[in-house]
Chains A and B, each alone.
Chain A
């Protein structure tokens, strides 16, 4: 059995980072969270715009993303900061995250007595929890526990020819070792869904894949606009991609060649072992945040145009097939596979370079996005604000 060094969690999960996470249940708590992070810079806050004036499935989705991010195994401890009157229930959120066995503290600004007292109280909690986390050490854990998301953003023509097929090889390597891959971006399989559908292991999973694509396309119909210009974006078009179909056909190779064992909802817990599809928008930050909330440890992110994208609780490994962009934006890029295009490297060999990078990052090597402090976080909305 292949092993690597990671943090072992009370519920049997493994974490490749040991974050102290501060979660505002509502936009009103953002500033208190930000001030606490200024005082305890090792903590991570997932400030966001939501948590109130929401109902139904839209409210539930915000709750699920916050809960999932707290439950992510890269998070060692959590502080939840509520205002005290919002629709996201802070106590229910704490109880959901505590199911993992990790320490969770929760308080509200109204009860504590305003921002200054809340910041002071939060800083004291953060310092105590951080000291506990710092005493934990990595131990040998099975490599098969690793869950990796695959994503592309800021694509150009090199994505479909080089970086995505190479990432697909790395995805196959992880699955060969018993691990898990999740791919998302429902909008970016439009025109290529028939290729993925043939790989679904049951007719029900195949039907669900077609269903979620149809649901997205009907939303586009309802908007009354051509997708082109939004997706493919102006940058995709400048990079040579002419239609969503062309972009999609270049996108799908990044998940490798394994059978698709399930289609899961946005932010739903990713099952163990094999390849899964998460219904999510192509929007980079919403998609990556959904994967993190589903329990992904890492996201591998291919780009041709170049993007600084990181994520709050998981490392994002940036991979490009565009050698000119790599040289131009090297401080944002982790892996260059542009030699595929010049014919001087094979897709297999480039995939192995990515696979090695995944294993090193899993053991603690910092990604460029982590070094630069990129901690993007965004929640996908499915309803209007009230």
Chain B
């Protein structure tokens, strides 16, 4: 779960198991972001622009991976996602509350 945040980071990894960091300011494509992960400050070069509050991959994520934030599963990657990419609805999907898939399963 979320905890206190130390000043001086561009983005935050909530839990050491997480694949993603949350941007604490608007970040530009091409810049190197200082990302807080526990006691460490890691550097990730951004391959996309990432708006405040949006997520950045902090490691390469293969397609079909259960993606973690808060140390918990927030969804599944639908494509391979490189470290530094914007992670959002275009490359991860929810696993729960998927009535659309229930319909497909019923028809199959």
Give bound CA distance, A156 to B23, whole Å.
12
List 18 additional A-B contacts (Cβ < 8 Å) besides A228-B94, A249-B74: A157-B52, A157-B53, A157-B55, A161-B12, A161-B22, A165-B3, A191-B74, A221-B98, A226-B100, A228-B89, A228-B97, A240-B53, A242-B89, A243-B74, A245-B73, A322-B53, A340-B4, A344-B7
Closest to B7 in A: A343
* A39, CB-defined interface residue at 8 Å: no
Asked if B53 and A346 make an inter-chain contact with CB atoms under 8 angstroms apart, the answer reads no
Asked if A239 and B53 make an inter-chain contact with CB atoms under 8 angstroms apart, the answer reads yes
Known: A224-B103, A304-B53. A165 touches B94 (CB 8 A): no
Q: Mark B71-108, 1 if CB is under 8 A from A, else 0.
A: 01111000000000001110011111111111100000
Q: Given the complex, which residues of B lie within 8 Å of A165, measured CB to CB? A: 1-3
Give bound CA distance, A347 to B88, whole Å.
27
B1-51 contacts to A, CB under 8 A, are 1-9, 12, 14, 22-24, 51
Q: Given the complex, which residues of B lie within 8 Å of A329, measured CB to CB? A: none
Known: A157-B53, A240-B54. A226 touches B98 (CB 8 A): yes
Give bound CA distance, A228 to B4, whole Å.
29
Q: Which 7 pairs from chain A and chain B are nearest by CB? A: A343-B7, A157-B53, A227-B97, A240-B53, A243-B94, A221-B102, A246-B74
Q: Given the complex, which residues of A lie within 8 Å of B95, measured CB to CB? A: 191, 243, 245
Interface size class of B (residues with CB under 8 A): 35 or more
* A342, CB-defined interface residue at 8 Å: yes
How far in angstroms is the closest Cβ of chain B from A211? 16
The tally of residues in A whose CB lies under 8 Å from a CB in B reads: 45
Give bound CA distance, A226 to B101, whole Å.
8
Closest to A347 in B: B4
Interface hub of B2, B4, B87 (most chain A Cβ within 10 A): B2
Closest to B89 in A: A242
Q: Mark A161-178, 1 if CB is under 8 A from B, else 0.
A: 110110000000000000
Q: Given the complex, which residues of B lie within 8 Å of A221, measured CB to CB? A: 98-99, 102-103
Name 14 A/B residue pairs within 8 A (Cβ), A-sorted: A160-B70, A165-B3, A225-B99, A227-B96, A240-B23, A240-B53, A240-B54, A243-B93, A243-B96, A245-B95, A245-B96, A246-B75, A346-B4, A347-B2
Give bound CA distance, A262 to B93, whole Å.
32
Closest to A304 in B: B53
Known: A217-B96, A343-B7. A250 touches B70 (CB 8 A): yes
How far in angstroms is the closest Cβ of chain A from B10? 12
* A125, CB-defined interface residue at 8 Å: no
Q: Given the complex, which residues of B lie within 8 Å of A195, measured CB to CB? A: 72
Asked if A224 and B100 make an inter-chain contact with CB atoms under 8 angstroms apart, the answer reads yes
Closest to A241 in B: B53
Asked if A343 and B6 make an inter-chain contact with CB atoms under 8 angstroms apart, the answer reads yes
